[in-house]
Amino acid sequence: MASDPDVDQSPPSPGTVDFRGSRRLVGAEEWFWYLAAAITYITLGIWHKWLLNWFVGPAWLVAFIVVGPWITDRLGMTGRSRSALGSAGSDGQTSR
Amino acid sequence: MSWAAHQFEIYAVQAHLPQKMKGKVSFWAIFLGDFTPDFLSKFWVYGFTINGTRYGADVPHQWHRGFPGMGFTHTLFFGVILTLLIWGWRKNRAFTIGYLLGFAAHALTDINDSVGVMLFFPLLVLNFTSETWAYAATVEGGKYLDAAAYYSSLGLVMDVFWLIVVLFSWRVLTREHWRTQIVPADARIWAWFGRWLPERGLIALYRATFFYGLCRMISWSAWARFFADPEKYRDFDVTSRGFPMDLSWTGPSWLAARSLSHVNPWLAYPAALMLLAVVYAVIIRLWEPMGRREAKALAARSRWRNGTHDEADVQADA
C-alpha cells in the first residue's frame, strides 16, 4: 500500500509524547503557541476588559496550548497524521 | 493594591524556598494563600450594578484594608489562623507551609499602596504603608480608574520588579522544574488534572498564573496609556487619549490617594521585612517537627483504613 508522502507516519521518538500519548511541545513550536496565546489575549483584553480575570486568563492559555497543536496535527500542518499519533499513544505509556 | 505583582510573587516564592524545602512545598497552596486575601474582600470593593442599583462598599479602601471592614483578611494574624486550621484539618506540611508563604507574600506586598495593611492586627489597628503609589479604588471610578492610576504610577514599576525577580529565576518556569519540583509536592492534584489534560496542558496550567499576570499588566498598561478616555471617569486635565504617567512617590498626582490611619511610612518596610524574616524563621524551625507529625498522622490514617485502629489506638490512649 502506498503511503502519503506528505504525512510522516514513522513513530515519534520516545520522549516526544506524554503519558496520554499526546505530543509534547518543545522549542520554537512551544514559543509559538505561548506567544500566540499572549498576543491574542493582550489585544482582546485592551478592548474587552471582562476577559482580564483569574478564570479566563489561565483558561485561555491552557486552551491554546492543548487545542492549538491538536488542531494543526489534525489538519496535517505539523506533519503528524492521526495514525502516527495513534501509534505514539502506545509508546507514550512508557515514555514518562 | 497590587495587580500583577500578586501573580508574579507566587513564582518568586517558589523560586526562593529554603534549600531543604525545595520540591516539597505545594505550588497550589502558595497560589491559594496568595489568592485568599483579595478573594475574601475584593468582590465588594468595586461592587457591581444590577438594574441600575450599585451594590458594593461605600468606602472601598476602608472595606478592603480597614477595621472595621475586611482589612483583617490582609493581616498575618488572619493568615496564621487559616494556616493552623489547614494544618489541623489535614496535617499536610507541604500545603500548610505553602499556604502561609503565599498569604504572607500577598499581605506584605500590599504595604506599598497609600492605604497599606494592618501588619500587627489585632495588637495594633493602624495600617503600615510606604505610600509608594496611590490606592485608587473608588465608588465613582471603579476598577477602570483604579487600573489607570496603578499603571500610571510606581505600581507599574512594582509589577515590573516582580516580573524581573521571576525572570532572574526563569528556571522556575521550565518543564524540568515543573516535573522535578512542582509535581512531587502536589502529586495527587496534578494526577487529577492529568485525567483531563495532556502534559503540555498541565505545564500550561502551572505557567498560567504567570501568563495571566504578564498579559494583564501589558493589557491594562496599554489601555491606560494609549486608549483610555480620561474624561469618561472624571474631569482630568488631559488633552489627549490616555492617562498621564507619573512616577512620583504616592503618584499619580492627578488622583487623590486614599488613606487610613497609619504609622510613620518609614516604619513600613522595616516592619514588613522583619515579619517576612519571622515567617521564614518559623517555617524553617517547624519544618522537621511538622514532617514527623505528618508521618504519624499518615500512619494513623493508614491503620484506620486497614481496620487495625482499635487495638493500636486503645494502646496509645492507655
Task: Print the SS3 string covering B277-298.
Answer: HHHHHHHHHHHHHHHHHHHHHH
**Residue A81 above 90 pLDDT?**
no
What ipTM was assigned to the predicted interfaces of this complex?
0.91
This prediction has a pTM of: 0.89
Distances in Å between the Cα of B171 and the Cα atoms of A18, A77, B102, B164 are 21, 31, 20, 13
> Range with the lowest mean pLDDT among A85-89, B97-101, B299-303?
A85-89
**Residue B52 neighbours by CB distance under 10 Å:** 5
Tens of pLDDT, residue by residue over B198-248, are: 999 999 999 999 999 999 999 999 999 999 988 887 666 666 788 999 999
Query: What pLDDT sits at residue B238?
Result: 62
Task: Print the SS3 string covering chain A.
Answer: CCCCCCCECCCCCCCCECCCCCECCCHHHHHHHHHHHHHHHHHHHHHCHHHCCCCHHHHHHHHHHHHHHHHHHHCCCCCECHHHHHHHHHHHCCCC
CB atoms A18 and B35 under 8 Å? no
Q: How far, in Å, CA of B300 to CA of B261, rounded?
A: 49
Query: What pLDDT sits at residue B236?
Result: 64
Report the percent of chain B where pLDDT is more than 70.
Answer: 95
Mean pLDDT of B155-161: 97
**Residue A5 above 80 pLDDT?**
no
Q: Which residues between 63 and 92 in chain B have a beta carbon less than 8 angstroms from any beta carbon of chain A?
A: none
Chain A residues closer than 8 Å to B227 by CB: 46-47
Q: How far, in Å, CA of B143 to CA of A60, rounded?
A: 22
Chain A residues closer than 8 Å to B212 by CB: 54, 57-58, 61
Domain assignment of residue A40, yes or no? yes
Mean pLDDT of A29-56: 96
DSSP 8-state secondary structure symbol assigned to residue B53: E
Mean pLDDT of B31-49: 94
Query: What pLDDT sits at residue A96?
Result: 35
Mean pLDDT of B1-21: 95
Q: How far, in Å, CA of A23 to CA of B66, rounded?
A: 50
| Torsion region of B307: left, alpha or beta (phi above 0 gives left; psi -120 to 50 gives alpha) | left
Query: What pLDDT sits at residue A95?
Result: 36
Query: What pLDDT sits at residue A76?
Result: 83
Domain assignment of residue B317, yes or no? no
Chain B residue nearest residue A63, CA to CA = B201
The residue written with cell numbers 472601598 in the block is B60
Query: What pLDDT sits at residue B234?
Result: 67
**Residue B23 neighbours by CB distance under 10 Å:** 14
Mean pLDDT of B264-286: 97
Q: Which residues pair with B54 in a beta bridge?
A: B49
A54–B contact, CB cutoff 8 A: yes
Query: B43 φ, ψ to 5°?
Result: -55, -30
Chain B residues closer than 8 Å to A34 by CB: 207, 211
Query: What pLDDT sits at residue A38?
Result: 98
DSSP 8-state secondary structure symbol assigned to residue B49: E
**Residue A8 neighbours by CB distance under 10 Å:** 15
* Interface test with chain B among A16, A17, A20, A91, by most B beta carbons within 10 Å: A20
* A vs B: CB pairs below 8 A: 79
* Angle at alpha carbon of residue B111, lines to B40 and B156, rounded to 5°: 95
A34–B contact, CB cutoff 8 A: yes
**Residue A94 above 50 pLDDT?**
no
DSSP 8-state secondary structure symbol assigned to residue B59: S
Chain A residues closer than 8 Å to B216 by CB: 45, 52, 57
A65–B contact, CB cutoff 8 A: yes
**Residue A16 above 90 pLDDT?**
no
Query: What pLDDT sits at residue B318?
Result: 45
Query: What pLDDT sits at residue A92?
Result: 38
Kindly state the cell numbers that stand for A79: 506533519
Domain assignment of residue B32, yes or no? yes
> Range with the lowest mean pLDDT among B139-143, B218-222, B248-252, B289-293?
B139-143
Show the domain range for B184. 5-310
Query: What pLDDT sits at residue B229?
Result: 85
Domain assignment of residue A1, yes or no? no
> Range with the lowest mean pLDDT among B119-128, B174-183, B305-314?
B305-314
Domain assignment of residue B40, yes or no? yes
B197–A contact, CB cutoff 8 A: yes
**Residue A93 above 50 pLDDT?**
no
Domain assignment of residue B252, yes or no? yes
Report the percent of chain B where pLDDT is more than 90.
Answer: 84
Report the domain count for chain B.
Answer: 1
Domain assignment of residue A46, yes or no? yes
Query: What pLDDT sits at residue A2?
Result: 42
Domain assignment of residue B161, yes or no? yes
Kindly state the cell numbers that stand for B80: 496564621
Show the domain range for A49. 29-74
Kindly state the cell numbers that stand for B285: 524551625
Query: What pLDDT sits at residue B232?
Result: 80
Report the domain count for chain A.
Answer: 1
* Interface test with chain A among B211, B226, B227, by most A beta carbons within 10 Å: B211
Query: What pLDDT sits at residue B309?
Result: 57
CB atoms A58 and B215 under 8 Å? no
Confidence of residue B127 (pLDDT cuts 50, 70, 90): very high
Chain B residues closer than 8 Å to A64 by CB: 204
